[in-house]
Structure 1
Amino acid sequence: MQNSSMDIRKLTGEDAAAFQAIRLEGLQSHPEAFGASYEDESKLPLSLVSERIESGAVFGGFNDDRALEGVIGILKSQSEKVRHIATIWGMFVRPSARGTGLSSQLLSAAIDEGFRDCRSIRLSVVSTNVAARRLYQRAGFTQWATDRAALCVDGVFYDEILMRLEAE
């Protein structure tokens, strides 16, 4: 079911508390899907969260009540030899907003941002997250490698699928 009322915008430092809340929710509910841990991220002061938002590009999807329902980050490499590559990170959509098209809208915003300056966008997705893998494939991402046992959560190892999208 498509929901056209979501407002997608780049987050600012003023969104730090809302961003931290949704990020912690994602890390807690799906620890296998993120390289970061709930334990580490929950200790970060809001000032540092705000700095992270301001120094990169993080997009949020807001519902009619102005509540943050989903997020995605894109980081552009700074090193001269790899500054043509951007990396998508931290995508999470609250269960209540899944199936609304928000994931596609957030991904599209991140891709548009990445291709402003870069020619390649990369991401990693845990192999067990079939819905996310399908979303990325629909957007044109292709798998280029598998990172075996990339994450270990509570003694269980998870593979990550490495995907990329090239500018046309």
Structure 2
Amino acid sequence: MHTTAPTIKLLTPADAALYRPVRLEALAAHPEAFTSTFEREQEKPVAWFEERLAASDVFGAFIAGEIVGTAGFRREDGAKTAHKGVLWGMYVRPQARKCGTGRLLVDAVVAHAAKRVEQLHLVVVRDNLAALRLYTAAGFVEYGRGVKALKHGGRYHDETLMVLFFDGRDATPPR
């Protein structure tokens, strides 16, 4: 674990060569947590990752010049859904966990999203308790579940759907 606080920066297409290995590591280490797969993305050239960084706002956490975590923001593009954004691709390398890196990344995405959308959504695998604690501490609330939402290696994984409203409302459904 590092004692140096991570710095957070918005990645640009020029950072694709740094982003690609951490993204592939995330997919390989936690295949149940992402809708994409290592097998799909490992064959993609750096140019594909450049396009991804151009199309979404991806933040990187850096310690001593090394990228140790990422989290993305994407705004919905439909006319009726442009008020919503998605936090996606959250991953922190093992050596940078339990020292606030995840919270810094989430806070960066939340601050960025708050200027662009009215609500921020995310989906997390139900048994990822550390992530659920992190997102709850950052103000996200559960509003639904995806039962058997992902299937990997013959095993189903349920998802927790979470949202953060920037107008002060919560996601508690009316009775």
Contact kept, 8 Å, 1:2 with 1:101, in 2: the verdict is no
TM-score (norm: length of structure 2): 0.92
Name the counterpart of 1:93.
Answer: 92
1:106-145 equivalences under 5 Å are 106-145=105-144
Indicate the structure with greater helix content.
1
Shift of 1:5: 2.8
**Considering only aligned residues, what root-mean-square deviation do their CA atoms show, in Å?**
1.2
- For structure 2, the 5+ residue unaligned runs are 168-175
Number of equivalenced pairs: 167
What secondary structure does 2:80 align onto?
helix
Name the counterpart of 2:163.
Answer: 164
CA distance in structure 1 between the partners assigned to 2:157 and 2:44 by the alignment: 25
Shift of 1:82: 0.3
Runs (4+) of structure 1 exceeding 3 A deviation are: 1-4
Superposed CA offset, 1:21-70 (max 9, x none): 00110110110011110000111111111011012100000002x00000
Name the counterpart of 2:9.
Answer: 9
Contact kept, 8 Å, 1:70 with 1:91, in 2: the verdict is yes
Contact kept, 8 Å, 2:2 with 2:95, in 1: the verdict is no
Q: Percent identity?
A: 36
CA distance in structure 2 between the partners assigned to 1:57 and 1:4 by the alignment: 25
Contact kept, 8 Å, 2:4 with 2:63, in 1: the verdict is no
- For structure 1, the 5+ residue unaligned runs are none
Name the counterpart of 1:29.
Answer: 29
Name the counterpart of 1:80.
Answer: 79
CA distance in structure 1 between the partners assigned to 2:26 and 2:19 by the alignment: 11
What secondary structure does 1:82 align onto?
coil
Shift of 1:3: 4.7
One-letter identity of the residue aligned with 1:7: T
Superposed CA offset, 1:118-164 (max 9, x none): 00100000001000000000011000000000111100000000000
One-letter identity of the residue aligned with 1:148: V
